[in-house]
Amino acid sequence: MKIAAYSSPGSPEKPNEDYFLVDPTTVIVLDGATARTDTGCIHGAAWFATRLGNALKIHVNQEVDLVGALGVAIEDVAQLHQESCDLTHPGTPSAAVAIVSIGQEETRWLLLGDATLLFETPEGTIVKSDQRGRYPVPPEQAEADKYRIGDPRKDTALRAMKRAELATRNTPDGFWVAAADSAIATRALTGTFPNANIKAFAAVSDGAARAVDLFHLFTWEEFTKMATWDGPQTVIDAVRKVEEADPVGDNWPRNKASDDATVVTYKC
């Protein structure tokens, strides 16, 4: 067994809204959602992702199913700020969640939101991602992509995009993400693999996934092998190199010049 992890903030001026925790039997990666509008909360995405990750570390074990552990963890965090914040606000802090739990005979996984899990098996790399509500690209996103990063028109379009996004968050017409309602845990994608079928796996936040799904630097199989054998920082450095060469999004339209990026690898 060999575990490696690397997390890089998108900007040195802002807190990293990704958060990860690892031990010999558990990998947890969270990606706090960027707030572009009012949230009804005094806490930010980094606070939420950190608290939810710490709660998950307590509740994820071999005696509890992962959906149940996520639900209890969401409730724990809600209790921490239900007196100070309006948890019914549509913009209340939220995070994407990826969990892998390694048991004696099988490995369980859970995804909620736009994180990615990569499993290297004898048959090749198996990609698990939660794409619900992400495609087709919403018209508000297409409008934002017309403008350079830093253009006031892009900022206006991104706020409109966020309002449209929040209107469908945690609904059948949109996407699912961990926020204040513990019942949303039941919407998570889950699965298992026999331990004998897994050579390695990686948990990836969407900022690191840019290497494949935005910049097309690698295939997912290449990404997994590079992150596992050369280290997670290698793939994130490759992402940063492209971002730095295209700071205003002329070649690669996107919401932010750089996003928080996290990769955790586990070689079995």
Q: What is the pLDDT of residues 110-137, one digit of tens each?
A: 999 999 999 999 999 999 999 887 766 7
What would the pLDDT profile of 85-97 be if each residue is shown by its tens digit? 999 999 999 999 9
Please tell me the predicted confidence (pLDDT) of residue 135.
Answer: 65
Identify the weakest region by mean pLDDT among 168-172, 185-189, 213-217, 229-233: 168-172
d(CA 24, CA 9): 25
The Cβ of residue 89 has, within 10 Å, a number of other Cβ atoms equal to 16
Q: Is residue 152 part of a domain?
A: no
* CA angle (220 as vertex; 219, 225 as ends), nearest 5: 100
Range of the domain at 214: 2-134+173-267
The stretch 161-183 carries a mean pLDDT of 94
In a domain, residue 165? The reply is no
Q: Could you tell me if residue 124 is inside a domain?
A: yes
The single-letter DSSP state of residue 182 is G
7 in a structural domain: yes
Give the chain's mean pLDDT: 96
Count: domains in the chain: 1
- Give the Cα separation of 41 and 24 in Å (integer): 35
Extended beta strands in 49-150, E state: 95-102, 106-112, 116-121, 124-129
Residue 232 domain flag: yes
Q: Is residue 58 part of a domain?
A: yes
Residue 140 maps to a domain: no
Lowest mean pLDDT among 131-135, 209-213, 250-254: 131-135
Q: For the chain, what is the total number of helices (H) and then of strands (E)?
A: 7, 10
Q: Is residue 147 in some structural domain?
A: no
Mean pLDDT, residues 53-60 taken together = 98
Q: Domain containing 190 — which CATH number?
A: 3.60.40.10
